[in-house]
Amino acid sequence: MIDELAKQAEESLGQVSSKETLATFWQEYLSKNGKIPALMKNLRSVAPEERPAMGKIINELKAKVQAEYDAAADKVKQAELAARNAAETVDITLPAKTRAVGGLHPLTLVTNQIIDVFSGMGFAVAESPEIEDDDHNFTRLNVPKDHPARDMQDTFYLSDEFLLRTQTSGGQIRTMDSQKPPIKVLIPGRVFRSDSDATHSPMFHQMEGLVVDKGITLGDLQGALNTFVQKLFGADTRTRLRPSYFPFTEPSVEVDVSCFECHGKGCPLCKHTGWIEVLGGGVVNRKVLENCSIDPDEYSGFAFGIGIERIAMLKYGINNIGLMFENNLQFLKQFHE
Smallest Cα–Cα separation from 116: which of 219, 181, 207? Answer: 207
d(CA 33, CA 25): 12
250 annotated as ligand-binding? yes
d(CA 292, CA 248): 12
User: How far is residue 297 CA from its own chain's centroid?
Assistant: 47
308, 206 in Cβ contact below 8 A? yes
251, 283 in Cβ contact below 8 A? yes
CB burial of 263-278 (b: ≥16 within 10 Å; e: otherwise) equals ebeeeeebeeebbbbb
- Looking at the DSSP bridge assignments, the partners of residue 191 are 204
Sheet holding 300-307, edge to edge: 124-125, 183-192, 203-213, 300-307, 275-284, 249-258, 239-246
Query: Which positions make up the binding site?
Result: 250
Query: Which positions make up the binding site for Mg(2+)?
Result: 250
